[in-house]
Amino acid sequence: MRRPTGVPALAVLCSGQGTNLQALLEATRTGRLRARVAVVISDRAASNALARATRAGIEAHFVDPKAYPSRGEFEQVLLTLCAAHRVRAVCLAGFMRLLSPVFVRPYAGRLLNIHPALLPAFPGAHAIRDALAWGAKVTGVTVHLVDEEVDHGPILLQELVRIAPGETEASLLKKLHRVEHRLYPQALRQVLAGRVRLTGRVARLTGA
């Protein structure tokens, strides 16, 4: 069991590139976010996020969902890792896996996700492709609290991004990432400061 240091500990759960993880690390390093990433967990061995964490000297774990007989047992391992680091808040950063109440309940209100669309439009794993295929003229970024449904919980922050004529997946991804990397630390700061008030599924950020 790690000793608490007063600075809130974070767990970041990833499946892919880890650019949002990098943005969170940068925000903690520069003091824009008073927190420390204590542990990074990936459900994919080849996730670049694990390499980023290791380079930054942060404990990184690949937890293979296929190694466990049930989703609940897989999530129990995630919970144990978070408990060992006394994690205050958990950030899903491109973690492409639905979490059950086993993990969601203990971290209710402290479990965040970032999504590259203005939810409830274009949920799921292909939001950028879907927005382009739909012919949307605007899309954006959403940071929200996580519940048991896909890209669904109370919205904390959203920001609009315009889709230009001739936009490609690559060019739109670049625009969205720029916004994501700024918005995620901002939303997390509000959660860690206890500035989120929930009325049903409506989140109000006090003093934001």
d(CA 135, CA 161): 14
CB of 144 to ligand GAR, least distance (A): 10
For 140, list phi and psi in degrees, rounded to 5. 165, -160
CB of 127 to ligand GAR, least distance (A): 5
Interface characters, 9-48, with ligand GAR (x: CB under 6 A): -----x-xxxxx----------------------------
Q: Which of 118, 127, 143, 196 binds ligand GAR (CB under 6 A)?
A: 127
According to the binding rule CB under 6 A, does residue 116 interact with ligand GAR?
yes
CB of 172 to ligand GAR, least distance (A): 10
Q: Is-contact 146 92, C-beta < 8 A?
A: yes
Residues making up the chain, counted from first to last: 208
For 33, list phi and psi in degrees, rounded to 5. -130, 115
Rg (alpha carbons) of the chain, rounded to whole number: 16
Mark whether 115 is an active-site residue: yes
CB of 180 to ligand GAR, least distance (A): 6
Spell out the SS3 assignment of 114-161: EECCCCCCCCCCCHHHHHHHHCCCEEEEEEEECCCCCCCCCEEEEEEE
According to the binding rule CB under 6 A, does residue 114 interact with ligand GAR?
yes
Query: How many residues of this chain interact with ligand GAR, rule: CB under 6 A?
Result: 16
Q: Is-contact 186 157, C-beta < 8 A?
A: yes
Within 133-162, the residues that bind ligand GAR by CB under 6 A are: 151
Give whichever of 86 and 154 is closer to ligand GAR, judged by the CB atom. Answer: 154
Catalog residues that contact ligand GAR under the rule CB under 6 A: 14, 16-20, 49, 93-94, 114-116, 125, 127, 151, 180
